[in-house]
């Protein structure tokens, strides 16, 4: 068995909190964009804004890396790119298998960002015999019967599941039994894994539902604001009581009903 399966980024042994680990890719993305523009240094405020966090949290996160920047100068962009890449384990090669080569799996296979970030798609696997041998992103699709051999031959420690929900748990079990210890799950189901196996779930429908919730809330706030605007008292003229909107049946100052009645 390959030793690559037991590798873990140094973040855990160094005691970096999981919340900080989750933000490191955000910083790396922002830093990479700065590097591509040949920006040599960046302040904590500028980098925090680019990553979508506050600067105090960014400085705290970087303190776990032993990086504190230079007062009046900021952080060295290239050094931070290297430092975060090293902490995330991106300075080494990570062979990945994608299981489930439907529309989503094929799109993942064609994604060019994997290679530039240290991930090599070693094999594409699908249960459909009709797909076997078909070329996708320059790789032949292989049948699930070969899964265990593929994992062993390519020293795979990371598996990507893009199968239908009903097949995901079985695929997960086989990957784990073969030695895979990290799984990125795109199937719309929750996977059960033993201790020592990490699962990250990506559910696009859930993300859309969360966005729908926020859209509904914003629409409700706008409606509440519009209703509140119609209830504001009109300015008084020459000390006279303010006129009220049509349909207001509350008694006037002398107890009488307003002259304007609802239709």
| 59 burial via Cβ count (<10 Å: 0-12, 13-18, 19+) | middle
| β-strand pairing of 182-185 with 119-126 | unpaired
From residue 222, alpha-carbon distances to 210, 212, 225 in Å are 19, 15, 5
Given a contact cutoff of 8 angstroms between Cβ atoms, the answer to whether 189 and 129 are in contact is no
**210 labeled part of a ligand binding site:** no
Beta strand ranges found along 89-189 (DSSP E):
94-99, 119-126, 135-136, 139-143, 158-161, 182-185
**147 labeled part of a ligand binding site:** no
> What tokens does 166 get?
């009903």
**100 labeled part of a ligand binding site:** yes
Long-range contacts at 166-170 (CB < 8 A, ≥ 24 apart): 167/100, 167/127
User: Could you report how far apart the first and last alpha carbons of the chain are, in Å?
Assistant: 84
**54 labeled part of a ligand binding site:** no
**101 labeled part of a ligand binding site:** yes
**131 labeled part of a ligand binding site:** no
Given a contact cutoff of 8 angstroms between Cβ atoms, the answer to whether 163 and 103 are in contact is no
R_g of the chain computed on alpha carbons = 29
How far apart (Å, rounded) are the C-alpha atoms in residues 201 and 184?
A: 6
Annotated binding residues, written as ranges, equal: 100-105
Annotated binding residues for NAD(+), written as ranges, equal: 100-105
């Amino acid at each position: 068995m390959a030793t690559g399966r037991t590798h873990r980024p140094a973040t855990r042994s160094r005691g970096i909190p999981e919340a900080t680990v989750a933000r490191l890719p955000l910083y790396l993305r922002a830093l990479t964009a700065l590097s591509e523009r040949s920006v040599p240094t960046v302040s904590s405020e500028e980098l925090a804004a680019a990553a979508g966090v506050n600067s105090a949290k960014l400085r705290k996160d970087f303190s776990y890396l032993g990086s504190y920047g230079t007062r009046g100068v900021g952080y060295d962009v290239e050094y931070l790119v290297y430092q975060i890449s090293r902490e995330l384990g991106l300075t080494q090669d990570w062979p990945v298998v994608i299981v489930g080569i439907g529309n989503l799996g094929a799109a993942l296979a064609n994604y060019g960002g994997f290679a530039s970030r240290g991930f090599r798609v070693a094999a594409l696997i699908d249960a459909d015999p009709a797909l076997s041998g078909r070329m996708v992103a320059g790789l032949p699709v292989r049948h699930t019967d070969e899964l265990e051999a593929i994992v062993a031959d390519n020293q795979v420690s990371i598996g990507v599941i893009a199968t239908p929900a009903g097949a995901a748990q079985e695929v997960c079990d086989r990957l784990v039994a073969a030695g895979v210890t990290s799984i990125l799950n795109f199937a719309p189901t929750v996977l059960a894994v033993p201790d020592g196996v990490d699962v990250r779930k990506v559910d696009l429908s859930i993300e859309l539902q969360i966005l729908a919730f926020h859209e509904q809330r914003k629409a409700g706030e706008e409606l509440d604001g519009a209703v509140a605007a119609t209830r504001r008292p009109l300015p008084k003229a020459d000390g006279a009581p303010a006129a009220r909107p049509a349909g207001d049946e509350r008694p006037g100052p002398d107890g009488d009903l307003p002259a304007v009645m609802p239709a």
